Amino acid sequence: MLNLIIFGPPGSGKGTQSARIVEKYKLTHLSTGDLFREEMEKNTPLGQEVRKYIDQGLLVPDEIALRELYSRASEHMDSPGFIFDGFPRTIVQAEALDQMLNEREIPICLVISVEVDREELFKRIIGRGEDSGRSDDSEDIIRRRLQVYEEQTLPLISYYKNQGKFVAINGMAHVDKVFAKICHAIDTYLETKKVVPEVE
């Protein structure tokens, strides 16, 4: 099973790259952000609960994110692999995910980090908010989301570096170029089981 995590701050292009990876490698896309947005659109009790956090740019509590992720993943255990997008976002989530996958002997293979500098991120998310109408893409909320990312999600870099699974990809280039670099890292892993730590 090819299990990947696509990692990066809001606006790094994770969603776009995930869609391409899913198509090429036939993986199941698990995005907790998409899942929560669906629930908010349908205005379900879960949607109402998570909206309180999302609209403020805060993380949804770990137990909710974990429960929903597990429930979605367990529907697709026959898949050739998963791409986790926007999950894990905290060390607690990462440890729980490792436990779940290791018990099933289907561990994470690679953590692909799409790296984009802060100024560019800001420009991209503001632009996206104008197009998408996402309730959490306003300027104040973006600042909060980037701060939450730095405080709660960045520690995952060392967590996965210590496991020798972390691949840094320069995400400032054109989407096609970024995708080519990601494919290079995945194909190298599939052929040699080696992790390329950095693709410039």
**Footprint on this chain of ligand AMP (rule: CB under 6 A):** 10, 32-33, 36, 53-54, 58-60, 65, 86-89, 93, 136, 145
At residue 169, the 3 state secondary structure works out as strand
Structure tokens belonging to residue 141: 């909320």
Q: Is 177 a catalytic residue?
A: no
Q: Is 128 a catalytic residue?
A: yes
Q: How far is the CB of 187 from ligand AMP (least distance, A)?
A: 26
Q: How far is the CB of 92 from ligand AMP (least distance, A)?
A: 10
User: Which residue out of 37, 51, 72, 145 is catalytically annotated?
Assistant: 145
Map 44-70 to HEC letters: CHHHHHHHHHHCCCCCCCHHHHHHHHH
Nearest residue (beta carbon) to ligand AMP: 33
Nearer to ligand AMP, 9 or 186 (CB): 9
Q: How far is the CB of 115 from ligand AMP (least distance, A)?
A: 16
Q: Is 89 a catalytic residue?
A: yes
| Count of other CB atoms within 10 angstroms of residue 72 | 18
Category of 188 on φ-ψ map: left (φ > 0), alpha (ψ -120 to 50) or beta = alpha
Q: Is 14 a catalytic residue?
A: yes
Look at the alpha carbons of 12, 193, 165, 199 in this order and tell me if their dihedral is positive or negative.
Answer: negative
Nearer to ligand AMP, 58 or 195 (CB): 58
Looking at residue 18, its amino acid is S
| Pairing state between β 82-85 and 110-115 | unpaired
User: Which residue out of 89, 144, 181, 193 is catalytically annotated?
Assistant: 89
Q: Is 145 a catalytic residue?
A: yes
Nearer to ligand AMP, 72 or 89 (CB): 89
Active site residues: 14, 89, 128, 134, 145
